[in-house]
Amino acid sequence: MYNEKVMDHFSNPRNVGEIVDADGVGQVGNPVCGDIMKIFIKVRDNIIEDIKFKTFGCGAAIATSSMVTEMVKGKSLEEALKISNKTVAEALGGLPPVKMHCSNLAADALHAAIEDFQKKQSKKGLE
């Protein structure tokens, strides 16, 4: 059902875990089947210095989480924001049609984390 690349990310997921003092945290839920994905980022000088994820979901959900973290680690926020659900699925060499909605989680969680970071920044700016 899944290609080798997906299975590789599923069985050896990169960047699993939490960042305790994260600069941004994004959590999204899957409206289709009820799964949850959470992404933590550490940002320095506009660069995603560290990123970790936690996911409650299927093989595709775990593989896309792992993939998205690998894709944006070391990238600027602008570059990270350009990553879409589609590019994540493509980077994995495609997902089964019934699983396409899972790939929606990964980029959304990442963008939510960046948004969270930016919100915190502007708050700091106000203080």
Q: Which residues are catalytic?
A: 33, 102
Q: From the CB of 16, what's the least distance to other proteins, in Å?
A: 5
Q: From the CB of 110, what's the least distance to other proteins, in Å?
A: 15
Chosen from other proteins, ligand FES, none, partner binding at 36 (C-beta under 5 to 8 Å by type): other proteins
Buried b / exposed e over 81-117, threshold 16 CB at 10 Å, is bebebebbbebbeebeeebebbbbbbbbbbbbbbebb
Dihedral of CA 15/20/25/29: which sign?
A: positive
Chosen from other proteins, ligand FES, none, partner binding at 107 (C-beta under 5 to 8 Å by type): none
Contact by Cβ (8 Å): 66, 13: yes
Among 22, 23, 24, 37, binds other proteins (CB under 8 A): 37
| Window of 27-35, 41-49, 81-89, 118-126 that interacts with other proteins by CB under 8 A | 27-35
